[in-house]
Amino acid sequence: MVNLTIDDKQVTAPKTATIYEAAKLNGINIPILCHDNKLKPFGACRMCLVEVEQMKGRQIPACTTPVTEGMIILTSTPDIVKARKMVLELLLLNHPIDCPVCDKGGDCDLQNLTYEYKVSANRFTDEKFHHEIDYNNPLIERDMNRCVLCGKCARICDEIVSFGALTFIDRGIETKIGCEFEGALNCEFCGSCVSVCPVGSLLARPFKFKSRFWALTKQKTVCGYCGTGCNLTLGVKDNKVLTTIYDDNQGFHKGQLCVRGRFGYQFINSDKRLAKPLIRRGNSLVESSWDEALELVAGRLKSGNVAALATPRLANEEIVLFKKLMELSGSKDYDHSAGYAHSALTEGFAKSLGATASPSTILDIQKSDLLLVVKTDAYETHPVVGFEINMAVKNKGVKLYILSDKRGKLARLPDAKTLLHTPGNEIALINAVAKTILDEKLAGASAGSVEGFVELEKGLSAFTPELVSAQCGLTADEIKQLARAYAAAEKPLIIFPVGLAYPGHNAEMASALANLAILTGKLGVEGSGILCMSEKNNSQGAVDMGFYPEAGAKNAIQILDGCASGAVKTLFVAGENPLVSYPDQTRVRNALEKVDFLVVSDLFLTETAAMADVVLPACSFAEKEGTFTAIDRRVQHFKPAIQKIGQSRSDFEIFSTLITLLGGRAPVSPAAVFAEIAAGVPGYESMNYATLGETGQFAKVAIKPVFNSVSLTASKAESGKMALVTGSALYHCGTLSQYGEGPMHVCPEGYLEISRTDAANMKVGNDDLLTVTSASGSAKLKARVSPRMPVGVVFSPYHFSDSSVNQFWSGAAVTWVTLAK
């Protein structure tokens, strides 16, 4: 810490702070346009000029000047105020004064500073710019006439998003921000540039002319898409969520969001939301009262042979109630995420670590010195974790190794090493890395004493790098180098995504990876370990609440088979859409058709809901209270941001009423249920809504490492066929994002990514329709020719109701398909 004087006030600041940061820390506000606390200092706008006595009263930028011991700083002398006024005059020379029609009005740094410094007239005159406004994409409007060239958009796109869509073009007075060859913006549309723009140059088009900024109510909440657990601020007016508002102090991610979080909120107020319960009469679903619908459901639940599938988007409190409801119905058959998407935690980690959660957190990424990421899809499934990886690699020089069946954005990071292997060979590859660590005596000193070591040594004997490399399309050296780097790292962290589209990321993979982490003996060291990224906003919570079958009970697939065979008479589906998201559509459809009575609670009349006997209109996360548990077991409390839409009810209310109807005693409030959770769920002890606060709390994970030798070989390549791997698209999460206009604007339908070579051989171009056929079915998909796909491998995301992959994907990690034009 250093001591300095700012505006006659004695203050202290960290050695690494700039004058701007030191002032801010001590409650002194220095005006600035080009600064964001996530970005490196830039010094472009000259608004933050201050005087430092030791520098002979020269005016220097506070944002780029580091503090030194004994500095005496004045932040607003008459001279400085004069200089700032002139900076504003010069900026306003070219900046159009179109504030009445500018969406940024009220939230505009330039407008606010002009007001604060009373710049009511301009001593200079010049022409305004006449740049064409970029309306080429539906999400981000670029009006370079309003730009003040602070460079924040270009810097955030490089430093954090690592996409680099925007840059400074030309020089001198001609300088502007733009894309290559001055074309249209064509990027990830995460909107980071919009969030940091200090003026109205970059605007969210979905919010254009919807509301003045000051008329919005700002509601803090937790994002309802993936499991990262990002915090959101919703801009609400007239019970409508109109936008998301950037708050650079919010969450571990400091307000940084992805395309889904920022632009995917429209599902909340969608016209397609169900407003009333529906009951099947003959062939159609007709509106009914809640009483009638719930009585009917309660009657069925009482009559036994009940099973349940829930979406891990429900709050912890709701999942607990759903479990209670199932118990009252005499059923132990309940599951989520098709059963396999949580097996990495519930089976893999349970065996290897003695816990059903990851020992590491997202915060460890920045503290690590080597990241081993399984599949580049980690960026697509959890984009904000992807940003953390970008920052770790680019700013902190963290080494990055990727095991993947295709290239991806992570692979383009500086010095990233990608072991591009043939699909389905992840576990063999991980085992070969473990084998090398053993053979070259790189294991930690304590490894030998861990339970299961002897079995592991034996189990790994067949996985020599030489054998595995041939099978994976790599060289033995590549595997050995990875093993050496991993073993040598002080704080190696393994990251892997799991989810409906990743059946290969299962219990075996979790154990194989855990073996690696245990072998080097660095599990438990801050910054190292293993992080399993489960898919949905509360996937980890669903596991923590135990919403998966105990031994002997039916899992998701067995439940569906039970529906088909008649063993399950009533199926209660809360929020899941298995017809689109579970593998093998034929099997799912058959089950749902056969089952005697199907109850679906959902926001929308999904494909699954359309088959139901009773549909209960549920409400979104923005209309209810509860807690979500993120991938790293950060438990966060969220409150309603708007009133419930139509007659919709929260799943909490639905389950409570049903519990009462079944003769049980329903808890009075989510808080009461959370008190039960705190009392009963390991790691949640002593938590309550008050202690969770705005930042949430980590549920502790107590681990007991055990080696669990696994071996799983890839399905044999079928000659003349292509390997189809399924996965997530960056713009989507589950099937919910289909109701978010933003994601649908930029990625409206399913597609098949194919390598340039294969495309050239088949004479296929972008958007050509391809018929994909596998052993289990076939469908038509648009081709997307991509440099990231290896020859012989095709990729398709799973989110889409139209052209859904489960028509030809039966749940294998790798599906062998033929393509035809």
Partner 1 sequence: MSDAVAQQIEEQEPEVDLSLANSVIDKYIDLPGNLMPVLQGVQDEYGYIPRVAADLIAERLNVYPSQIYGVLTFYAQFHLKPRGRFIIRVCVGTACHVQGAPRIVETFFDKLGIGHAETTPDLRYTFEKVACLGACGMAPLAMVNDSTYGSMTVQKVAEIVDDYNQRPLK
Contacts with partner 1, residue ranges (CB under 8 A): 132, 136, 154, 158, 163-171, 178-184, 412, 414, 787
CB of 604 to partner 1, least distance (A): 37
**Calpha distance 143→641 (Å, rounded):** 31
Toward partner 1, which CB reaches closer, 170 or 767?
170
CB of 477 to partner 1, least distance (A): 19
CB of 333 to partner 1, least distance (A): 51
**Calpha distance 622→234 (Å, rounded):** 9
Phi and psi (nearest 5°) for 141?
-95, 135
CB of 125 to partner 1, least distance (A): 27
CB of 786 to partner 1, least distance (A): 12
Instruction: State how beta strands 278-281 and 399-404 pair.
Output: unpaired
Strand partners, 231: 222
CB of 179 to partner 1, least distance (A): 5
Nearest Cα neighbor of 493 from 518, 517, 521 is 517
Toward partner 1, which CB reaches closer, 300 or 784?
784
Nearest Cα neighbor of 304 from 70, 566, 31, 608 is 566
CB of 713 to partner 1, least distance (A): 34
Toward partner 1, which CB reaches closer, 113 or 154?
154
Widest pairwise Cα distance in the chain: 88
Half-sphere exposure of residue 221: CA atoms within 13 angstroms, side-chain side: 29
**Calpha distance 434→443 (Å, rounded):** 9
Toward partner 1, which CB reaches closer, 182 or 477?
182
Toward partner 1, which CB reaches closer, 136 or 461?
136
Toward partner 1, which CB reaches closer, 178 or 198?
178
Nearest Cα neighbor of 705 from 433, 522, 462, 491 is 522
3-class SS string, 156-201: HHHHCCCCCCCEEECCHHHCEEECHHHCCCCCCCCCHHHHHCCCCC
**Calpha distance 503→671 (Å, rounded):** 35
The Cβ of residue 701 has, within 10 Å, a number of other Cβ atoms equal to: 20
CB of 34 to partner 1, least distance (A): 17
Strand partners, 410: none
Toward partner 1, which CB reaches closer, 85 or 412?
412
E strand or H helix at 429: helix 426-439
CB of 778 to partner 1, least distance (A): 34
Toward partner 1, which CB reaches closer, 69 or 174?
174
Toward partner 1, which CB reaches closer, 131 or 240?
131
CB of 36 to partner 1, least distance (A): 19
The Cβ of residue 395 has, within 10 Å, a number of other Cβ atoms equal to: 12
| DSSP assigned state of 69 | T
Toward partner 1, which CB reaches closer, 173 or 551?
173
CB of 136 to partner 1, least distance (A): 8
Contact criterion met (CB below 8 Å) for 230 and 222: yes
**Cα-Cα-Cα-Cα dihedral sign, residues 456, 462, 464, 467:** negative
Toward partner 1, which CB reaches closer, 117 or 163?
163
For the CA atoms of 378, 382, 388, 393, the dihedral, rounded to the nearest 10 degrees, stands at 20
